[in-house]
């Protein structure tokens, strides 16, 4: 996350935009692949949802959770 803060905006392979203000941060650790969905509000990065990726495709439920939380964050403006 520090990399994203220091070098925003950044692109693949670390970060990609999913549209509508939703972004995906990709990272790898010794024990697996991880994804963090986030949005940017002004100068603040808001973490919406994170998970360990175990399949090639992102599970629909993980993305749905992030989108629901994004709506809540955007609704508070």
pLDDT score of 5: 66
Question: What is the C-alpha radius of gyration for the chain, rounded to an integer number of angstroms?
Answer: 12
Q: pLDDT at position 27, please?
A: 87
Alpha-helical segments (H) within the chain: 2-7, 60-75
- The pLDDT of residue 70 is 97
* pLDDT at 24 (0 to 100): 94
Q: What is the pTM of this model?
A: 0.82
Per-10-residue mean pLDDT, the chain, length 77: 66 85 90 92 92 92 97 84
Domain regions of the chain by residue span: 2-75
């Amino acid at each position: 996350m520090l990399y994203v803060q220091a070098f925003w905006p950044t692109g693949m392979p670390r970060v990609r935009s999913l549209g509508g203000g939703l972004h995906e941060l990709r990272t790898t650790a010794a024990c697996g692949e991880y994804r963090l969905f986030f949005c940017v509000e002004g100068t603040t990065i808001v973490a919406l949802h994170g998970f360990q990726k175990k399949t090639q495709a992102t599970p629909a439920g993980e993305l749905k959770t992030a989108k629901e939380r994004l709506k809540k964050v955007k609704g508070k403006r």
